[in-house]
Amino acid sequence: MLFNHAPEKFWNLISSKYAASPIADRSAYETKITRLKTYLTPDMSVLDIGCATGTQCGDIASNVKQVTGIDISSKLLAIAEKRMAERNLTNVELLRTSIFDKTFQPGSLDVVMAFFVLHFFEDIDAVFKRVHELLKPGGIFISETACLGNKNKLMGGLLRSAGRLGLLPKINLLTTQQLEQSLARAGFSIVEKTRFSERSDAEFTLVAQKALSE
Ligand SMILES: C[S@@+](CC[C@H](N)C(=O)[O-])C[C@H]1O[C@@H](n2cnc3c(N)ncnc32)[C@H](O)[C@@H]1O
């Protein structure tokens, strides 16, 4: 099966395996979530792009008013629905849609999160522009991205070729610098840049803010 024009098929196919795999560095994950909660208040509306099985949506749900998790994979979203029900979380909405969905209102969100999904977008400037548009003034964008452009060129080349051939979804070989420059072009200021894990494959968690007035 080829995935370059249908990435949702890839994610649906691996959904059970993905859902069963544990978080790579649990202690670093918990430190990160605790830290991210310092940006959240009970009146906030949050959007999680690429929510998959809803791990982060569920982990922050009791700290905010409402969480919307979006994803392209119906199978991962079905697992997320089940997990939210098991956790008795009633303020998490899960939708199979895209960040560019016109029903999302400009200036309506307090926080947008994007964990390990931005490298699946070809036009990162367009994504950041849209996130900026959806956030309220002073709103926060939290992201963690596999920056394969920072890493081993051979591995990056192989992944790019696999994407071109359709064996994997297409991967954008981003660098941390590209992400930061693109965030600045969209009008964000970086307020925090932390690597929560000591693992060699750990990525930076970037927290960026939309200006209070423009
Ligand atoms: C590596 S997983 C990350 C899941 C989760 N955010 C996490 O950190 O555990 C990437 C997820 O992004 C989703 N995805 C890929 N392209 C997407 C897009 N254009 N819009 C929304 N979700 C997307 C996939 O279906 C998958 O669930």
Q: Give me the helix-helix angle, 124-134 and 176-186, nearest 10°.
A: 40
* 70 residue type, one letter: I
pLDDT value, residue 164: 75
Give me the half-sphere count of Cα atoms (radius 13 Å) on the Cβ side of residue 66: 7
Q: Please list, in sequence order, all residues whose beta carbon lies within 8 angstroms of the beta carbon of residue 106, skipping any fewer than 6 positions away.
A: 133, 134
- Segments of the chain scoring below 70 in pLDDT: 1-5
Nearest residue (by CA) to ligand 1, atom 13, is 50
pLDDT value, residue 157: 77
Nearest residue (by CA) to ligand 1, atom 1, is 116
54, 71, 103, 138 from 84: Cα distances, Å? 8, 15, 23, 29
pLDDT value, residue 144: 97
Nearest residue (by CA) to ligand 1, atom 16, is 120
Q: Where are the domains of the chain?
A: 7-210
Q: Which residues of 169-192 are buried (b: 16+ CB within 10 A; e: fewer)?
A: bbbbbbeeebbbebbeebbbeeeb
Ligand 1 atom closest to residue 23's alpha carbon, by position in its atom list: 9
**Mutation pick for ligand 1 pocket among 10, 117, 205 (CB with most ligand atoms within 8 Å):** 117
Whether 72 is in the pocket of ligand 1, judged by its Cβ within 6 Å, is yes
Q: What is the DSSP letter of 122?
A: S
Ligand 1 atom closest to residue 114's alpha carbon, by position in its atom list: 6
pLDDT value, residue 4: 67
Domain with residues 7-210, CATH architecture: 3-Layer(aba) Sandwich (3.40)
Q: Could you tell me how many helices (H) and strands (E) the chain has, helices first?
A: 8, 7
pLDDT value, residue 169: 87
Give this prediction's pTM. 0.95
Nearest residue (by CA) to ligand 1, atom 7, is 115
pLDDT in tens, 94-125: 999 999 999 999 999 999 999 999 999 999 99
pLDDT value, residue 69: 98
